[in-house]
Amino acid sequence: MKRILLLHTGGTISMSTDQTTGDVRPSSENPLHHYQHLFGEAVHVKAEDLFQLPSPHITLKEMTAMKERIERAIETGEADGIVLTHGTDTLEETAYFLDLTLHASIPVVLTGAMRPADSIGADGLLNLQAAVWTAMSEEAADKGVLVVMNEEIHAARHVTKTHTTNVATFRTPTFGPIGILAKNHVHFFQKLVEREHFPVDTIRHTVPLLKAYAGMESQLLEAVFQMKPDGLVIEALGAGNLPPAVLPSLKKFLENDLPVVLVSRAFNGIAQDIYDYEGGGRQLKQAGVIFAPGLSGPKARIKLLILLEQTKDPKEMANCFE
């Protein structure tokens, strides 16, 4: 019999609807505690409440606590797989944090819901069932941290929330899901070519995230520089370009050995140093900007925060991103 540790952290999957106002809010009791029968007789699910937080309330402190609880479960051998329920707004960031920091020998799966537990067509129970079945799969053990939603299995590294309300919100742009569920059968057809692991106990640095736009002013970067951050992530235009007006302010970050990581604000594709003009990616990379192909802005920020705990060497950081 498989043993699955089910860790609840809150989110829509554990919320209900006020019948008078229609507002969605946390329930007094987690409704997911009463569904052992969903998983079948071949598994024992041990449920535990870590938090009861909406996902916008999740910080790196809570992510670290999740990591530590999973590590204890692995070290003591109390589970054959881990499932975390999580709010969808920041689920992809938690998943990627865990993917980078856990050295997991067993499957680790995150899931959530787009509809509260008491709504018509609630998706939480189906997602939870699929997540547990995935965590029971022997094949899931070597795939990194996984996100299971809407009967699809995604790698934490690339998955993102793409719709504010649709149950099919979690997608993997450019690369696609790595597996699917058909009834209670788990089918994998892709895996990441390489995995990364960075041991961290705490995150002590500050990294803001900015999004570039047409006519972007230098004052915004100046204000961020005055915050004395430890680094900066920018969602750049196109393949990785910036308006020339921000370049003098950007230069201040680089001259002070503050890492600047560039991703694309585009939904699909990867950031590349293609264009050789003022503000173009080729000149930005030559100036010392680090390109992070295939990562979103929020995930590049998570990775930079973790790397800052490992090294201050710009070349080493660049190698870890590229």
Active-site residue set: 12
Are the beta carbons of 57 and 91 closer than 8 angstroms?
Answer: no
Phi, psi of 90 (to 5 degrees): -120, 15
- Distance linking the first and last C-alpha atoms of the chain: 42
* Residue whose C-alpha is closest to residue 53's, from 15, 17, 98: 15
Q: Are the C-beta atoms of 57 and 15 separated by less than 8 Å?
A: no
Which distant-in-sequence residues (6+ apart) come within 8 Å of 111 by Cβ? 13, 83, 84, 85, 86, 127, 128, 130, 131, 147, 148, 149
Q: Give the helix/strand (H/E) hosting 289.
A: none
The single residue listed with the structure tokens 């920018």 is: 234
CA distance linking residue 272 with residue 277, whole number of Å: 14
Torsions phi, psi of 290, nearest 5? -95, 130
Residues 6+ apart with CB under 8 A from 308: 205, 207, 230, 231, 259
Of residues 297, 296, 304, the one with CA closest to residue 321: 304
